[in-house]
Amino acid sequence: MMTAERVHTDRKVYEREELLNGCQAVAHGVRLADVDVISAYPIRPYTEVMDQLSRIIADGELDAEYIIADSEHSQFEIAKHASSVNARAFAGSSGTGWCYGFEALVVTATDRLPVVYIVGNRALDDPGAFGVEHNDAMAVRDMGWLLLWVTTPQEALEHILLAYRIAEDKRVRMPLALAMDGAFLTHSQHIVKIPAKEAVKKFLPPYDLGAGRLHPDNPISIAPQVNEDWVMEIRRQNWEAAKRARGVIKEAYKEFNAIFGERYSNPYFTEFMTEDADVVLIGLGQIAAAGRTAAKRLREKGQKVGYIGLRWFRPFPTLELREVLKRFKAVGVIDRDFAHGSPDDGGVLLHEIRSCLYPAKNRPAVTNFITGLGGRDVSIDDCIKMFGITQKAMTDEKLDDYVTWIGVRE
Amino acid sequence: MATQEMITYDKIKGVHNIPLEEFYTSGHRTCQGCESATTMRGFIKAAGPRSIVTGSTGCMYVANTSYMTTPWIVPWMHTQLGASGSSAIGMAAGVRALKRKGKIKDEHINAIAFCGDLGGGDMGLSGISGALQTNYDLLIIMYDNESAANTDIQATGLTTYGAQTTFTPPGKKTRIMQKRWKKNVAGMLAVGHPTCKYIATACATYPPMDFLNKVRKALAIGGPTFIHTYDPCPKGWDYHPRYSHELGELGIKSGLYPLYEIVEGQVTYTYDARPKKSRIPVNDFLSKQGRFAHLIQEDIDYIQKMVNQMWDEWEIPGIAPLKGVLKSK
Ligand SMILES: Cc1ncc(C[n+]2csc(CCOP(=O)(O)OP(=O)(O)O)c2C)c(N)n1
Ligand code: SF4
Ligand SMILES: [Mg+2]
């Protein structure tokens, strides 16, 4: 069993504690990563990251260019081109803002520029809704982005450091989107231990694009027109980098643990009460809190249930997850997103997990839940209900490959 | 041959003093007679090797920069169709941060972004406006061949009134499909960005050296700057490639394309088309191109009338389409 929140108390490693919400914690991560260029544009709920950073810069705690862009498209192009001249760049967005900049997001990945962006998950218009849904961030999942979800402000801060380390690694060089649930994480406060600068320096080397940087001393042409002559080989390189990222991620967490204490025993996902479980729920983001509490309550009644919080979505931890999931009799996949008309008419995560499990000899039953859309609360009772349905799926074949909407007026 | 190591912003006096060294060389596949290619060659000759360049999608990307045969001797990167402004900000901001933080040598590096009339004058206008509000040293060059040339000559917001393009063909019922009057990009940017210290219009070959020196001036003055160039395009304008330079000159002399520079709010006409006698009839320009072959006298008269108005009635001729101040009643 994994405890996500053991924090080292060594003063040299963590210098102080503060009450921070997810956005504020991210801003501290950016400060500690000594980012060079930040481009901002407002959209709820991620905006507070940028509010906070502008204050940090105004107070002289970070030396960075802070640009207020005219749109998200410009915001991401600014960061992309800053990254190309070897400046460490940061930006972020939410919902339709993320989609407005989509063209720029795509080329940042194909240009292999390791920017780090925050996505404060928000439902896509129309109709307008500020609340969380995961479709915004998921839009980049096939584009050559690294993509993960964090679930506490502490994790958010630490993952900004991990993000730059992994994205900028020579073997990877891919942009990274760090997603967090709107409101439930962006604006919920926790006590956060703030790493000391010296410790961060030990962990995060300076950004070095090497022979890929744009500078008069290195007169290269980046992204010339290739057509069918070369594009396939270039895609292949991206593919290999995305595969290599899995190893680099492991390495980075290992080193992180060595410096900051045993923070993460598994980079990719956290298991809660899964040891002898028959049934687990798995999901991304903040539903984990209710899911774990529900598991605990059911355990008290003697039911063998557990919860898996998935952190990394790209690269997908296929082998690791398959090894774990095949132990159970039934898996309930929670989607805070939609994939209308998809093969199983379920959510995005459902398809990923079914596909991940397909080669396993004794596959557990996999049932799907769509819930919490537009920021609708997912309660402990909702999770207990999902556990109940998943338990039924152990024997009821109809529930395998079945999509249940939880908390919807029908 | 002298090697241009450092940046020089000195005015080039006489064609014999144009630097010999090329930073835009062979390897591109632009059409014969492509004036935009001359714009490319010229701006980087004037700017020199301590420059970083981005180019937005268009002929000057697709026909220009093929993998493994890049014509660029300076560092160059593609940027998205509407991203010339934001790419310039990104480069300039990155370079400034790295210099200030001691991560690269503290020397002057030009950040130059170019875009076409569709990429810059239509799609990327907001990004260019954003760039002109910053205090970064950057130069944006909009090369205007009056069409989306790369996608096979479609009308843009800068195409001359009446021109035939693949989106505006003359038909049995409608003779003129291109009914939009050419957008006044440089004027609009100058009027809207009071802290921008240098905005100019130019043509790569007329008057000789004028463009090169405008590039030098923009870079010397610094801050965010903008140059709009007028680039005859044999494929899109439908004329023999040998007439490219001549057509640029005729466009300017007919008054259709005003030539000026605005330095800290002061306008200088670099071809003064204000006096009527310095303007040739627009038809001398129009009649030399296939794209206007379908126009009848009435259309030519209309274009002439609009051009006359622009020079005779505008408060700032050729730049600001306002006709003076009325007293409130
Ligand atoms: C976002 C986007 N939309 C459309 C295109 C297709 N496209 C490529 S080049 C081009 C024309 C660009 O015209 P202009 O900026 O005037 O440059 P020119 O081709 O004339 O040199 C278009 C529409 C694109 N590359 N990107
Ligand atoms: S179509 Fe026009 S702009 Fe494009 S390469 Fe040919 S001449 Fe140049
Ligand atoms: Mg054009």
For chain A, list the domains and their CATH numbers: 3-260 (3.40.50.970), 269-406 (3.40.50.920)
Residue B153's Cβ-count burial label (10 Å; 0-12, 13-18, 19+) is buried
Dihedral sign from CA coordinates of A310, A312, A316, A322:
negative
Beta strand A403-406 pairing with B51-56: unpaired
Tell me which ligand sits closest to the C-alpha of residue B115. Answer: 1
Q: Rounded to an integer, what distance in angstroms lies between the CA atom of residue B249 and that of residue B311?
A: 17
Its ipTM equals 0.96
Residue A268: the pLDDT is 98
B79 vs A81, A89, A229: nearest CB: A81
Residue A9: the pLDDT is 56
Distance B290 CA to ligand 1 centre (A): 23
Kindly state if the Cβ of B116 falls inside 6 Å of ligand 1.
Answer: yes
Closest to B71 measured CA to CA, from B116, B95, B121, B36: B36
Place of tokens 């690294």: A146
Kindly state if the Cβ of B79 falls inside 6 Å of ligand 1.
Answer: no
- Choosing among B29, B60, B64, B67, which should be mutated to test the A contact, i.e. which has the most A CBs within 10 A? B67
Residue A12: the pLDDT is 84
Kindly state if the Cβ of B147 falls inside 6 Å of ligand 1.
Answer: yes
Any idea where the domains of chain B sit in the sequence? 23-313
Distance A51 CA to ligand 2 centre (A): 45
Q: What angle do CA A362, A367, A370 make, to 5 degrees?
A: 150
Q: What is the pTM of this model?
A: 0.96
Six-digit token pair at A363?
A: 């596959």
Give the nearest ligand 2 atom to B244 CA.
Answer: 7
Amino acid (1-letter code) at residue A274: T
Residues with beta carbon < 5 A to ion ligand 3?
B 116-117, 145, 149
Residue B8: the pLDDT is 79
Q: Rounded to an integer, what distance in angstroms lies between the CA atom of residue A118 and that of residue A75?
A: 13
Residue A2: the pLDDT is 42
* CA distance to partner chain B, nearest, from residue A213 (Å): 9
Residue A401: the pLDDT is 81
Q: Rounded to an integer, what distance in angstroms lies between the CA atom of residue B250 and that of residue B203?
A: 11
Cα-Cα-Cα-Cα torsion A95, A97, A99, A101, nearest 10 degrees, comes to -150
Residue B1: the pLDDT is 38
Kindly state if the Cβ of B59 falls inside 6 Å of ligand 1.
Answer: yes
Residue A110: the pLDDT is 97
Q: Enumerate the residues of chain A whose CB falls inside 8 A of the CB of residue B89.
A: 39, 67, 69, 74, 78, 81
Q: Enumerate the residues of chain B whose CB falls inside 8 A of the CB of residue A107.
A: 80
* CA distance to partner chain B, nearest, from residue A34 (Å): 10
Tell me which ligand sits closest to the C-alpha of residue B150. Answer: 1
Topology at the third CATH level for domain B23-313: Rossmann fold (3.40.50)
Q: Rounded to an integer, what distance in angstroms lies between the CA atom of residue A354 and that of residue A349?
A: 9
In chain B, which residues have pLDDT < 50? 1-4
Q: Rounded to an integer, what distance in angstroms lies between the CA atom of residue B255 and that of residue B230?
A: 13
H/E segment holding residue A39: strand A37-40
Burial state string for A88-108 with b = 16 or more CB within 10 A and e = fewer than 16: bbbbbbbbbbbbbbeebbbbb
- Say if B31 is an interface residue toward chain A (CB within 8 Å): no
* CA distance to partner chain B, nearest, from residue A107 (Å): 8
A219, B49: Cβ pair inside 8 Å?
yes
* CA distance to partner chain A, nearest, from residue B67 (Å): 5
Beta strand B51-56 pairing with B110-116: parallel
Kindly state if the Cβ of B165 falls inside 6 Å of ligand 1.
Answer: no
Distance B231 CA to ligand 3 centre (A): 9
Nearest CA to ligand 1 atom 10: B58
- Say if B24 is an interface residue toward chain A (CB within 8 Å): no
A82, B130: Cβ pair inside 8 Å?
no
B52 vs A70, A79, A85: nearest CB: A85
Choose which residue among B35, B151, B152 to substitute to test ligand 1 binding: the one with the highest number of ligand atoms within 8 A of its C-beta: B151
In chain A, which residues have pLDDT < 50? 1-5
Q: Rounded to an integer, what distance in angstroms lies between the CA atom of residue A95 and that of residue A181?
A: 11
Place of tokens 């039911």: A303
* CA distance to partner chain B, nearest, from residue A264 (Å): 33
Amino acid (1-letter code) at residue A301: K
